[in-house]
């Protein structure tokens, strides 16, 4: 195996640590806060539903990159917990619409605040040029994984 330069070694260690720890960090933040009855997957489902207008199950499933059947299981749990409500479409009664309840919108806002704080801490103290370099670097990493593993952008 090729020996990594000191900077490449540091970058590798940082990426591996971030990828391994970010979901665990997010889960710990959820469990310690007001949203301790939600899993990371459930909060990401709430995030995909969005704050403002009901969406179809198909739209949300596509955004999450999962099947409607998998989403149905998740939505059933979120309905029981009081975060999501299901209704039939007005124009097409066959379509199942999902929307956040008041409790779901609160969860969305709390989780959004967590992300805003994470971003603020990440870029705090960086110059505008350093921020641009960080954005370009993260975008390059994201594009690599999207293309390498044939993932759709979210």
pLDDT in tens, 15-54: 888 888 887 888 887 788 788 899 989 999 999 999 999 9
Three-state secondary-structure class, residue 11: helix
Which domains, ranges and CATH numbers included, belong to the chain? Answer: 38-123 (1.10.10.10)
pTM: 0.80
pLDDT band at 57 (very low <50, low <70, confident <90, very high): very high
CB hemisphere CA count around 140 (13 angstroms): 6
How would you label 9-25 residue by residue, b for 16+ Cβ within 10 Å and e otherwise? eeeeeeeeeeeeeeeee
């Amino acid at each position: 195996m090729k020996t990594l330069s000191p900077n490449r070694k540091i970058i590798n260690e940082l990426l591996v640590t971030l990828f391994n720890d970010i979901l665990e960090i997010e889960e710990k933040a959820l469990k310690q806060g007001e949203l301790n009855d939600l899993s990371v997957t459930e909060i990401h489902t709430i995030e995909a539903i969005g704050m403002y207008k009901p969406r179809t199950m198909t739209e949300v499933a596509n955004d999450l990159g999962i099947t409607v059947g998998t989403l149905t299981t998740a939505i059933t749990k979120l309905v029981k917990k009081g975060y999501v409500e299901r209704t039939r479409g007005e124009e097409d009664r066959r379509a199942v619409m999902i929307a956040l309840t008041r409790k779901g919108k609160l969860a969305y806002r709390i989780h959004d605040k967590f992300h805003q704080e994470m971003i603020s801490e990440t870029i705090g103290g960086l110059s505008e040029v350093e921020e641009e370099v960080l954005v370009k670097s993260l975008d390059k990493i994201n594009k690599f994984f999207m293309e390498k593993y044939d993932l759709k952008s979210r």
